[in-house]
Amino acid sequence: MAKVLLVEGDRDASDEVVDEFTSAGHEVTVVDNGAEAVERLRAETFDAVMTSLYTPERADTEQVIRVAREKAISIIAVNSVTPEHAGNLPEGVKVINKFDADYRAVAEEWFGQSE
């Protein structure tokens, strides 16, 4: 089982991710913004953080990435760009296209199927 921190202020969008990841046997904690994510990353242990790289709170997103890297946590970018068009992404960030995402398949591919 993977423990994933999801940074998503849109509850409808986060519900889809939570449903698919939990149905694959993983635990998802949802926070509304990057500042909350940084607090949780510092206080708890996670296997991955999922966030958009292109948000109004760009400084918060950069801080989330920095803290995740310090703690050796996988970073998954959920964006409206494909990996081929994301040439300026931070190194080591996995990208999924939020419009085409099969979140259960993503969970199984990156973390395996939990029982």
Residue 27 CA, chain-centre distance (Å), reads 12
What range does the domain containing 43 cover? 3-111
Residue spans of the chain under pLDDT 70: 54-58, 79-90, 97-100, 112-115
What's the CATH number where 7 sits? Answer: 3.40.50.2300
Write down the pTM of the prediction: 0.80
- Distance linking the first and last C-alpha atoms of the chain: 8
Number of domains in the chain: 1
Per DSSP, 49 falls in state E
Planar angle of CA 60, 29, 35, nearest 5 degrees: 15
| pLDDT given for residue 83 in this prediction | 52
